[in-house]
Amino acid sequence: MKQFEVVLEAKRVFNGVMLGDGGLVLPRTSDNAHFYMALANGRLYLPTDQLLCYLAGIASCLELLDVPVSNGYPKIVEKTSHGKPYMSHELLTRTSSFLTRERNRWHIKGIKEVPEDLVLTPVSLAHWFMNDGSSPRQGSAVYASFATYSFSEHSIELLEHQLASLSIQVNRGKNKQVVKGSGLRLFVQQARVNLFMSIIEPYVVEPFRYKIKYRE
């Protein structure tokens, strides 16, 4: 029973990172998919050791799901964007049948979407927020939101339903410059921000603890 709970928790983490920065790629040389995740160290300059530690934790969860991690990962890769160098913290796995099944679950006609059977839990919610969430403060208000631009409107509706099951109501914001996906961002309603933060706080780790903010 204990091992079952450990694997179930690993699947919750997996769902959270798939809502965020996780991706499933089907290489030309294999019938099975592999998992890839990259965290760019942008203007916040988050500690490299903490980012690698977070990815190592994700790797441990994947190994519990019988997904072997590629040699040398997680690791730092130097890249450039618009002529400017940056450090990309990356995790890559080997291929597995589990990941192929998950790719079929998460992709519709090659496009990443929210699975119909997704159940959002505090653990998966926390990992989603660590990946794609932000929480700028303005006065006494905290604008907690998720970058869901690339998901279709149907996927947005599924996420809204799952958030509501945790008593978290959200509003939509539209980014008209986004050309792929719905261009929608989900904002936690101000009356629910403190509840939202209290739900995810036990599962949010460094270097993402700075995102935990409560309304005053």
What pLDDT band is residue 209 in, cutting at 50, 70 and 90? Answer: very high
Residue 44 has a pLDDT of 59
CATH code for 122-211?
3.10.28.10
* Token digits of residue 13: 């983490």
* Token digits of residue 157: 């509706």
The correct CATH number of 2-108 out of 3.40.720.10, 3.40.250.10, 3.20.20.80, 3.10.28.10 is 3.10.28.10
Residue 92 φ/ψ, nearest 5 degrees: -135, 135
DSSP codes, 51-93: HHHHHHHHHHHHHHTT-PBPTT-SEEEEEEETTEEEEEEEEEB
In this prediction, residues 143-167 reach a mean pLDDT of 97
Residue 86 has a pLDDT of 85
Q: What is the pTM (predicted TM-score) of this model?
A: 0.94
Residue 132 has a pLDDT of 95
Residue 181 has a pLDDT of 78
Does 129 have pLDDT greater than 90? yes
pLDDT digits (tens, 9 = 90+) for 55-91: 999 999 999 999 999 999 999 999 888 888 888 999 9
* Token digits of residue 99: 């990941």
In this prediction, residues 196-203 reach a mean pLDDT of 98
Higher-pLDDT residue of 115, 1: 115
Nearest-angstrom CA–CA distance, 102 and 40 = 24
Q: Where are the alpha helices (DSSP H) in 30-185?
A: 48-64, 97-106, 122-132, 153-165
What pLDDT band is residue 5 in, cutting at 50, 70 and 90? Answer: confident
Strand partners, 87: 41, 78
Does 138 have pLDDT greater than 70? yes
Q: Which of 154, 90, 85 is nearest to 116 (CA)?
A: 154
Residues of the chain with CATH 3.10.28.10: 2-108, 122-211
Residue 54 φ/ψ, nearest 5 degrees: -65, -45
In this prediction, residues 19-41 reach a mean pLDDT of 93
Strand partners, 92: 36
Cα radius of gyration rounded to whole Å, the chain: 17
